[in-house]
Amino acid sequence: MKNRITEEYLLELLRNSGTKKEGVAALIERYQMPLYWHIRKMVVNHDDSKDVLQEVFLRVWRNIDQFKGDSKLFTWLYRIATNESLRFLERKQKRMVPHISIQEMLETELETSAYISGEEIQVTLQKAILKLTDKQRLVFNMHYFDELDYIEIAEILDTTANNVKVLYHYAKNSIEDQLKKEI
């Protein structure tokens, strides 16, 4: 297998039944980390992130033939990971006690769950991010942490670049306000 294979070559491997296994292995190798971090920033808990990531790859594996190539493979994967994360949070919300919001729940997990580094400023920033709406959180995470541009984010979220810009602007202002209050 090539060390750094192109998206086209990867797709070719995935679409051919004889090389599908090799393609899936290459796909996991290449995208498991960025997708895991993307999911983790949304669902906070490590075990939940692992479950969602598994579901993402199983979904990709089942539906790879339906991928038309209209967008980049990376964009398609990010979209699936985003949708799975939101679906997971929705299910979690339904299972929860009515008077606790999902934001409060995620905040508690941020303070108590394993695999969180001890740096206070990082946790404070995450708490401020948790106060945002899901769309604002997604946009902020993808632009600030993953350094995706507005057009890429717009493709993933199936919206316009201008809309993403506005969402990011609101998110940034809201976080800055929160941080000023906290620090």
Partner 1 sequence: MNKEKINHPFIAPDGFFEEFKVEISEKMSVQEEKNHGRFRKILLIGFKYAAIIALSFFLGRESMRLFNPESSTSVQSEYFSVDAVYSQVSEDEISDYIIENVSVNELDQLNLKQ
Residues in contact with partner 1 by CB under 8 A are 24-25, 28-29, 32-33, 36-37, 40-41, 44, 46, 50, 53-54, 57-58, 61, 110, 115-119, 121-123, 125-126, 144-145, 172, 175-176
Q: Smallest gap, in angstroms, from Cβ of residue 4 to partner 1?
A: 17
Contact 84/52 with Cβ under 8 angstroms? yes
Q: Smallest gap, in angstroms, from Cβ of residue 161 to partner 1?
A: 20
Contact 27/10 with Cβ under 8 angstroms? yes
| 63 versus 160: smaller Cβ distance to partner 1 | 63
| 87 versus 169: smaller Cβ distance to partner 1 | 169
| 154 versus 178: smaller Cβ distance to partner 1 | 178
Q: Smallest gap, in angstroms, from Cβ of residue 70 to partner 1?
A: 25
**What is the C-alpha separation between 101 and 138, in angstroms, rounded?**
18
| 28 versus 86: smaller Cβ distance to partner 1 | 28
Ramachandran angles phi, psi of 9, nearest 5°: -65, -40
Contact 86/134 with Cβ under 8 angstroms? yes
Helix or strand (DSSP H, E) at 134: helix 134-140
CB burial of residue 102 (10 Å; 0-12, 13-18, 19+): middle
Q: Smallest gap, in angstroms, from Cβ of residue 104 to partner 1?
A: 18
Q: Smallest gap, in angstroms, from Cβ of residue 80 to partner 1?
A: 14
| 37 versus 74: smaller Cβ distance to partner 1 | 37
Ramachandran angles phi, psi of 131, nearest 5°: -80, -15
